[in-house]
């Protein structure tokens, strides 16, 4: 599949369906194929192939057509990729990530943080105060933590992402 050769698509698909799923996607021909045939070609279990195909379907990256066998009455599912939807899926994922980053930025800007001197965890002021500024995990002290670099990093990521949209 030519569309899967692009690095950005491969990375997105790998995140979505994993290594085995990516192998399945790479072996889907441009014409329709059954899930059973795809399992044969890839050597991946039929359950994994079906799970991957349904996940792709949920993200509008694959479609299927049902065909009933006139003799047995069994339904056969014929699958096909929708590479024309890859860009929309990537944009949707980018917008989701942007919302998460904006939420995180708000959280970072609106809180004061204290961190364990041993690096166990980081706490907001109220939680640190409730623990008397003692780490509940290792009993070391909690000290004020400047988060300007965290805020700066998130702002940079948001700017980069917005430029892509």
Q: Which two tokens stand for residue 154?
A: 């998130």
pLDDT reported for residue 3: 54
DSSP string, 27-85: T--SS-EEHHHHHHHH---HHHHHHHHHHHHHTTSEEEEEEE-TTT--EEEEEEE-GGG
The answer to pTM > 0.85 is no
Domain tally for the chain? 2
**Within a domain: 136:** yes
Residue 117 falls inside a structural domain = yes
- Give the CATH number, domain containing residue 47: 1.10.10.10
**Selection from 2, 3, 1 nearest residue 90 by Cα:** 3
Residues 59 and 107 in one domain: no
Cα 77 to chain centroid distance, Å, stands at: 26
Q: Say how far apart CA 88 and CA 12 lie, in whole Å.
A: 12
102: in domain: yes
In a domain, 86, yes or no: no
Identify whether 109 is part of a domain. yes
- Binned at pLDDT 50, 70 and 90, residue 5 comes out as low
Residue 74 inside a domain? The answer is yes
Average of per-residue pLDDT values in the chain = 94
Q: Is the confidence at residue 83, as pLDDT, over 80?
A: yes
Note down the domain range covering 71: 2-81
Q: Please, what sign has the CA dihedral across residues 11, 50, 58, 62?
A: positive
The pLDDT value recorded for residue 4 is: 65
């Amino acid at each position: 599949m030519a569309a899967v050769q692009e690095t950005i698509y491969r990375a997105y698909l790998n995140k979505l369906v994993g290594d085995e799923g990516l192998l399945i996607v790479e072996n889907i021909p441009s014409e329709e194929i059954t899930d059973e045939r795809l399992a044969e070609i890839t050597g991946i279990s039929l359950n994994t192939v079906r799970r991957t195909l349904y996940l792709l379907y949920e993200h509008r990256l694959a479609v299927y057509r049902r065909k009933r066998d006139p003799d047995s009455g069994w339904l056969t599912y014929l699958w096909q990729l929708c590479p024309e939807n890859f860009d929309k899926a990537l944009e949707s994922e980018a917008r989701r990530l942007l919302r998460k980053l904006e939420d995180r930025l708000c959280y970072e800007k609106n809180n004061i943080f204290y961190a364990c001197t041993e690096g166990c965890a980081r706490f907001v002021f109220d939680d640190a105060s409730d623990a008397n500024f003692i780490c509940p995990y290792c009993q070391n002290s909690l000290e004020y933590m400047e988060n300007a670099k965290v805020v700066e990093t998130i702002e940079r990521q948001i700017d980069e992402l917005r430029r892509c949209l």
